[in-house]
């Protein structure tokens, strides 16, 4: 059953004893610090902050919404007890079978409970945190949905991009090159126009999740989210921009992004998902806010990027997209895909991809690696693609390292490819290349499979067989539980 809003999702998490309320944490580093400390634990809950000093007690911040696999499963009605490998397979099937459902336009919604025009709005009334110690300011937009429409055909894009609070009516907006909203806003600028934009800062979880994965250009995330929910997303039409705004959002704004020649402000630095401040502080476009809408007792959603291995959505949904792409590219017998460092980050960056397969022919492993590199979810800000045999769990880094250490001959199994799509967030791009917008990097393919020519003669593994393991586990269940 689809959740209608963020509040329903929090209630469902609370029903399975998966919410921790924290009273009195300060917006300046305390909320962000507690999020990071909890997220590094094995079984951390959804965090709900209230009674934030300096703000009404009922103005809350919710974080780690789907950072744990259990809650990303809850969001789409999946079994929270699945293993990581099984969960990615389930996501692969969900994405493969999805039938997009257009959003449903409604006349009214909870987001319109409080309406402020340009003369009366104030973006500083919300307890936007300063998440990381070196952040250059407060970021209201880390789990936000930025809504734009292509001026050529009206296609609506929904993406997650970071948004800094500059003052009461001005927000900073950073979008890396190549992302859909950046392409859209440049089309407006080429016409000498400001780009209309709407943004929500707290919405039902599936829409947030969909905004953060790699949906093909020209396909609206609203339709994709409707397909995952099996029911349309209710939207209201923005009175200033005409853009569809989620009707049950906690907080929403309408505004415009003027061309850089008219206005920019220094944005950042901000701790990003690769675990660094690689982008630094730079002049970036702004959102001039023209209207503000919010629910009574609003909940600001926060998903600050944290140093890996923490994943924004608990499982790397980009891995499921890569798996589907491999099957569409006729790469047979894929047994699993996982992404370490990213993979569910906004934009789908995946610096370390692992593909597990059952080898069928010479070159099979290399074919899988090159195909994974070719899809959008596997190409953006990549670094390593490791291919392993079917007996290796791609989600178990220990097993992956063991395979690399024992089955990979560096001289014959390493391939380097240059000139690939990267980002300003890539920490190994030099300052000179960064200034020149030379945003490309190299990729390494590691074939960590048994050599195909003599794989049947490869020394056997000194561990329990699956059959023997199951037999012992069945007999000794009372001891092992």
The answer to the question of residue 479 being in a domain is no
In the predicted structure, residue 220 carries a pLDDT above the cut 80: yes
pLDDT of residue 379: 80
In this predicted model, what pLDDT tens digit does every residue of 180-209 receive, in sequence order?
999 999 999 999 999 999 999 999 999 999
Phi, psi of 228 (to 5 degrees): -70, -35
CATH number at residue 412: 3.40.1670.10
353 and 213: one domain? Answer: no
Task: With respect to residue 147, please indicate whether it lies within any of the assigned structural domains.
Answer: yes
461 DSSP assignment: P
Residue 205: CATH number of its domain: 2.30.110.10
User: Is the residue at 308 inside a domain?
Assistant: no
Kindly report, residue by residue over 415-444, the tens digit of the pLDDT.
999 988 888 788 888 888 888 888 888 899
Domain limit, last residue, from 302, 327, 355: 302
Alpha-carbon distance of 70 to 87, in angstroms, equals 10
Mean pLDDT of 263-292: 93
**262 and 336 together in one domain:** no
Q: What is the DSSP letter of 123?
A: G
In this structure, are residues 61 and 302 in contact, taking their beta carbons and an 8 Å threshold? yes
- Which residues lie below 8 Å from residue 351, measured CB to CB, with a gap of 6+? 274, 340, 341, 342, 381, 382, 383, 384
Asked whether 430 and 445 are in contact (CB, 8 A), the reply is no
- Final residue of a structural domain among 302, 327, 359: 302
**pLDDT per residue over 67-100, tens digit each?**
888 999 999 999 888 888 899 999 999 888 989 9
- Tell how strand 265-267 and strand 282-284 pair up: antiparallel
Q: What is the pLDDT of residues 26-73, one digit of tens each?
A: 999 999 999 999 998 888 999 999 999 999 999 999 999 998 889 999
Range in 13-17, 126-130, 166-170, 304-308 the model is least confident about:
304-308
Residues 203 and 241 in one domain: yes
- What radius of gyration, in Å, describes the C-alpha atoms of the chain? 23
* Angle 302-308-314 from CA coordinates, rounded to 5°: 55
State whether 339 and 379 are in the same domain.
yes
Same domain, 323 and 297: no
Strands of the 104-105 sheet, one edge to the other: 104-105, 234-237, 244-246
Q: Specify the range with the lowest mean pLDDT, choosing from 263-277, 346-360, 365-379, 439-453.
A: 346-360
Residue of 314, 313, 148 lying closest to 222 (CA atoms): 148
Give the model's pLDDT for residue 343: 54
For residues 120 and 441, the model is more confident at 120
**Under 8 Å between Cβ of 280 and 269:** yes
- Alpha-carbon distance of 13 to 18, in angstroms, equals 5
Counting Cβ atoms within 10 Å, is residue 465 exposed (0-12), middle (13-18) or buried (19+)? exposed
Is the confidence at residue 348, as pLDDT, over 80? no
Please give the share of the chain, as a percent, with pLDDT higher than 90.
71
Candidates 90, 62, 51; CA nearest to 74 is: 90
Tell me: pLDDT of 249 over 70: yes
- Enclosing domain of residue 408: 317-467
- Establish if 312 belongs to a structural domain: no
- pLDDT number for residue 346: 42
Domain check: are 219 and 260 in the same one?
A: yes
Question: Is 309 within a domain?
Answer: no
**pLDDT given for residue 438 in this prediction:** 87
Torsion angle (degrees, nearest 10) of CA 164, 256, 160, 150 = -160
- Domain for residue 481, yes or no? no
Point out the least confidently predicted range of 18-27, 242-251, 305-314, 315-324. Answer: 305-314
Average pLDDT score over the chain: 92
Give the relative orientation of helices 364-374 and 317-328 as an angle to the nearest 10 degrees: 120
Whether 474 is in a domain gets the answer: no
- 245-263: average pLDDT: 97
472 in any annotated domain: no
Distance CA 339, CA 322 (A): 10
Are 331 and 281 members of one domain? no
**β pairing state of 440-448 and 384-389:** parallel
Could you tell me if 386 and 353 are in contact, meaning their C-beta atoms sit under 8 angstroms apart?
yes
Q: pTM to 2 decimals?
A: 0.86
Which among 267, 303, 309, 268 is positioned nearest to 284, based on CA atoms? 267
- For residues 364 and 340, state if they share a domain: yes
**342 pLDDT higher than 70:** no
Structural domain tally of the chain? 2
Same domain (yes/no): 202, 344: no
pLDDT band at residue 311, thresholds of 50, 70 and 90?
confident
Residue that is last in its domain, among 302, 330, 358 = 302
Least confident of 193-202, 234-243, 348-357: 348-357
Q: Other C-beta atoms within 10 Å of 17: how many?
A: 8
Higher pLDDT, 366 or 477: 366
Q: How far apart, in whole angstroms, are the C-alpha atoms of residue 179 and residue 221?
A: 14
Across 268-285, average pLDDT = 90
Domain identity same for 25 and 144:
yes
Shared domain for 54 and 188, answered yes or no, is yes
* Residues 372 and 241 occupy one common structural domain: no
221-237 pLDDT, tens digit each: 999 999 999 999 999 99
pLDDT of 159? 94
The predicted model gives 352-363 an average pLDDT of 96
The per-residue pLDDT for 125 is 98
Judge whether residue 347 has pLDDT over 60.
Answer: no
**Which candidate, 189, 185, 58, 182, places its Cα nearest to that of 125?**
58
């Amino acid at each position: 059953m689809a959740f209608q809003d963020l509040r329903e999702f929090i209630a469902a998490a609370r029903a399975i004893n998966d919410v921790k309320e924290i009273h009195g944490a300060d917006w300046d580093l305390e909320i962000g610090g507690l999020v990071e400390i909890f997220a590094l634990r094995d079984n951390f809950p959804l965090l709900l902050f209230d009674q934030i000093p300096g703000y009404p007690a009922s103005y809350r911040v919710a974080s780690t919404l789907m950072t744990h696999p259990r809650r990303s499963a809850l969001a789409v009605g999946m079994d929270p007890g699945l293993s990581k490998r099984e969960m990615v397979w389930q996501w692969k099937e969900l994405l493969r079978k999805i039938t997009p459902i257009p959003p449903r336009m409604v006349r009214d919604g909870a987001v319109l409970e409080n309406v402020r025009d340009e003369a009366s709005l104030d973006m500083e009334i919300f307890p936007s945190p300063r998440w990381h110690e070196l952040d250059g300011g407060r970021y209201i937009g880390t789990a936000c949905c930025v809504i734009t429409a292509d001026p050529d055909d009206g296609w609506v894009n929904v993406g997650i991009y970071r948004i800094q609070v500059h003052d009461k009516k001005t927000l900073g907006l950073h979008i890396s090159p190549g992302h859909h909203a950046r392409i859209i806003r440049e089309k407006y600028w080429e016409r000498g126009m400001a780009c209309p934009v709407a943004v929500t800062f707290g919405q039902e979880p599936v829409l947030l999740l969909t905004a953060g994965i790699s949906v093909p250009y020209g396909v609206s995330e609203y339709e994709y989210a409707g397909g995952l929910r099996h029911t349309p997303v209710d939207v209201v039409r923005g009175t200033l921009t005409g853009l569809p705004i989620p009707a049950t959002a906690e907080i929403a704004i309408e505004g415009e992004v003027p061309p850089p020649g008219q206005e920019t402000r220094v944005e950042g630095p901000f701790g990003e998902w690769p675990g660094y401040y690689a982008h630094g502080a730079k002049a970036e476009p702004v959102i001039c806010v023209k209207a503000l809408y919010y629910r009574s007792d609003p909940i600001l959603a926060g998903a600050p990027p944290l140093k890996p291995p923490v994943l924004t959505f608990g499982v790397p949904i980009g891995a499921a997209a890569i798996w589907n792409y491999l099957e569409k590219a006729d790469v047979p017998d894929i047994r699993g895909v996982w992404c370490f460092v990213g993979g569910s980050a906004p934009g789908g960056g995946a610096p370390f991809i692992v593909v597990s397969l059952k080898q069928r022919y010479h070159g099979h492993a290399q074919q899988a690696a090159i195909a994974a590199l070719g899809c959008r979810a596997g190409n953006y800000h990549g670094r390593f693609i490791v291919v392993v045999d079917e007996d290796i769990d791609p989600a178990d880094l220990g097993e992956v390292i063991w395979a690399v250490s024992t089955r990979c001959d560096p001289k014959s199994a390493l391939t380097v490819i240059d000139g690939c799509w990267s980002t300003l967030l890539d920490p190994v791009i030099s300052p000179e290349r960064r200034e020149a917008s030379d945003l490309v990097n190299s990729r390494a393919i590691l074939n960590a499979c048994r050599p195909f020519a003599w794989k049947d003669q490869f020394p056997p593994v000194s561990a329990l067989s699956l059959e023997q393991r199951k037999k012992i586990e069945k007999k000794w269940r009372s001891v092992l539980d």
